[in-house]
């Protein structure tokens, strides 16, 4: 079975069933193969032409993180592992606009890269790939134009969403009550001060020091719209109280 293949349309890579949840490591590996170009082509990113050979794709850590619902740190570590001397599956080449990823054994895993492929198969694939390459280039141009319209705030919120989706809560915080309080606070943060992997870790570390007060601290900061986490002030009541409570200092925000 080592030389057997099964055919899957590339549309699968953009289906909700493929994209709705954080990727597994294996799914990410298949995704890299699926996104790699099947013929020589080029794309434009922020107006800059990036030439690509068969088996290459152009995608930044931020784009991978958004697609896979991982943190940028996890993406960076995973790609570095694939590139390491012990694994040697990809090579990364960073440019001023993106990162070009080369899949080293692309042909070994693709039908027209095997010894059993016929000349007619290869010719048919090449013609189809060339036509599809032009269509894909047009789509890349459209996507680039859309990306230019994104503000820094929108990009920060997208990174926030990816980091939150990739977060695994400590075992003692895996309760419905904590999950709800955590979601409410991070949703508030998303609109005011989007988080990244490092700020999420800092927040959870702070809450882990006072597990008995963690939920109240989250509720307190959510109601007060505080990006930071602070000890609950005397007189605070929740939910939906009209009782006044003191503003926390901004130290340690």
Are residues 137 and 25 both part of a single domain? yes
**pLDDT over 70 percentage in the chain:** 75
> Which pLDDT score is estimated for 5?
74
Q: Among candidates 175, 248, 160, 164, which has minimal Cα distance to 212?
A: 175
Residue 90 and residue 128 in one domain:
yes
- Whether 144 and 27 map to the same domain: the answer is yes
Q: Among 97-111, 139-153, 174-188, which is the least confidently predicted range? A: 139-153
Q: What does the chain look like in DSSP terms, one character per residue?
A: -TT------GGGGGSHHHHSSPPPHHHHHHHHHHHS-SSSEEEEETTEEEEE-TTEEE--HHHHHHHHT--HHHHHHHHHHHHSTTT--EEEEE-SS-EEEEETTTGGGSGGGSTT--HHHHHHHHHHHHHHHHHHHHHHHHHHHHHHT--HHHHHHHHHHHHHHH----GGG-SHHHHHHHHHHHHHHHHHS---HHHHHHHHHHHHHSGGGHHHHHHHHHHTT-SS--PPPTT--TTT-----PPPPSTT-
Do 232 and 187 fall within a single domain? Answer: yes
**Would you say residue 158 lies in a domain?**
no
With 80 as the cut, is the pLDDT of residue 17 above it?
A: yes
For residues 1-20, average pLDDT: 82
Between residues 235 and 52, the one the model is more confident about: 52
C-beta separation of 15 from 1 below 8 A: no
Domain-embedded: residue 161? no
Residues 27-34 have a mean pLDDT of 95
Q: Is residue 159 part of a domain?
A: no
Mean per-residue pLDDT of the chain: 81
**Which pLDDT belongs to residue 143?**
59
Sign of CA dihedral 68, 99, 8, 130: positive
pLDDT tens for 213-239 read 999 999 989 998 999 998 886 655 554
Q: Single out the residue in 148, 183, 206 at which a domain terminates.
A: 148
3-12, 22-31, 58-67, 237-246: which range is least confident on average? 237-246
Same domain, 173 and 139: no
In a domain, 155, yes or no: no
Q: What is the pTM of this model?
A: 0.50
Domain count, the chain: 2
Do 132 and 172 have their domain in common? no
Q: Same domain, yes or no, for 97 and 138?
A: yes
41 inside domain: yes
Same domain, 233 and 185: yes
Residue 93 lies inside a defined structural domain of this protein? yes
Domain that holds residue 83: 10-148
Residue where a domain terminates, one of 102, 118, 148: 148
pLDDT at 125 over 70: no
| 204 falls within a domain | yes
State residue 146's pLDDT score.
Answer: 58
- 144 and 221 in one domain? no
Span of 9-13, 85-89, 150-154, 183-187 with lowest mean pLDDT = 150-154
Residue 81 domain flag: yes
Angle between helices 176-192 and 152-166 (to 10 degrees): 160
Q: Return the pLDDT at 239.
A: 47
| Per-residue pLDDT tens digits for 55-101 | 999 999 999 999 999 999 999 999 999 999 999 999 999 988 899 99
């Amino acid at each position: 079975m080592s030389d057997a293949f099964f055919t899957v349309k590339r549309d699968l890579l953009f289906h909700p069933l493929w994209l709705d949840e954080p990727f597994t490591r294996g799914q990410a590996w298949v995704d890299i193969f699926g996104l790699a170009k099947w013929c020589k082509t080029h794309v434009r990113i922020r107006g800059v032409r990036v030439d690509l050979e068969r088996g290459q794709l152009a995608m930044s850590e931020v784009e991978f993180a958004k697609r896979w619902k991982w943190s940028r740190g996890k993406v960076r570590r995973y790609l570095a592992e694939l590139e390491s001397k012990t694994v040697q599956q990809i090579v990364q080449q960073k440019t001023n606009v993106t990162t070009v990823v080369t899949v080293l054994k692309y042909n070994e895993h693709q039908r027209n890269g095997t010894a059993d492929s016929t000349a007619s198969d290869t010719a048919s694939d090449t013609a189809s790939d060339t036509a599809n390459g032009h269509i894909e280039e047009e789509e890349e141009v459209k996507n680039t134009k859309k990306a230019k319209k994104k503000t820094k705030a929108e990009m920060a919120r997208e990174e926030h969403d990816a980091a939150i989706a990739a977060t695994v809560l400590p075992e003692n915080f895996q309760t419905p009550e904590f999950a709800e309080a955590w979601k409410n606070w991070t949703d508030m943060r998303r609109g005011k001060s989007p988080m990244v992997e490092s700020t999420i870790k800092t927040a959870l570390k702070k809450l882990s020091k006072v597990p008995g007060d963690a939920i109240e601290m989250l509720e307190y900061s959510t109601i007060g719209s505080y990006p930071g986490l602070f000890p609950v002030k005397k007189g605070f009541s929740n939910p939906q109280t009209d009782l006044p409570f003191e503003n926390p200092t901004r130290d340690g925000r």
